[in-house]
Amino acid sequence: MGFLSKFLGKDLDAGNHSIKEDAALSPTHDEVFRPGRPGEFHSIRSIPLLDRPRYFTEGEAAALQAIAKQKAAGVKHTEKALAAMESIEGSDTKVHEMYYGYRGKVAETELQKLKANTDYAAKLHGLRPGYAGLQSRIRKADMGATSKISKLRASLYKGLEVDDD
């Protein structure tokens, strides 16, 4: 404690502070969403993606096995095999069309989901100036208080030699 502090019986350092802007701007919870921690961009998918056309029923598998047996049986079964193959091609085409319709729908809904993510990210970016403004206000208040304290100290110690021990 300095000489004047002892003389006046007051601690002139009482104007000091330990208010740190990172403490004042500290989030209210570690996992709260904010520009510096937007969280993960999760989605929900109730079914697994189908990565290629495929058959799902035992009947479809049996039809393919029947075709393989017909080809192996020989030439006399060629007519039946070709008819079955045409049927399979028709089925494959339907599955193919349905599959690519499905993929188109997945792509369309993915765009909608990413648009929602983009809207959220843009909203968070829109909050950044507000956070910067809060930080600026804290710094301005700190500078103003520091300046006033300096002026007060200067007027109190004017013409006196100060012992800072």
Does residue 47 surpass a pLDDT of 50? no
pLDDT digits (tens, 9 = 90+) for 98-128: 999 998 999 899 999 999 999 999 999 999 9
According to the model, what pLDDT value does residue 1 have?
52
Which sequence spans correspond to the domains of the chain?
3-157
- The overall average pLDDT reported for the chain is 80
Q: Which residues of 115-154 are buried (b: 16+ CB within 10 A; e: fewer)?
A: eeeeeeeeebeeeeeeeeeeeeebeeeeeeeeeebeeeee
In terms of Cβ atoms closer than 10 Å to its own Cβ (0-12, 13-18, 19+), residue 104 is exposed
pLDDT digits (tens, 9 = 90+) for 134-159: 999 999 999 999 999 999 999 988 87
According to the model, what pLDDT value does residue 116 have?
94
pLDDT digits (tens, 9 = 90+) for 68-84: 676 567 656 678 778 99
- Half-sphere CA count of 161, side-chain side, radius 13 A: 0
Predicted TM-score (pTM) of this structure: 0.49
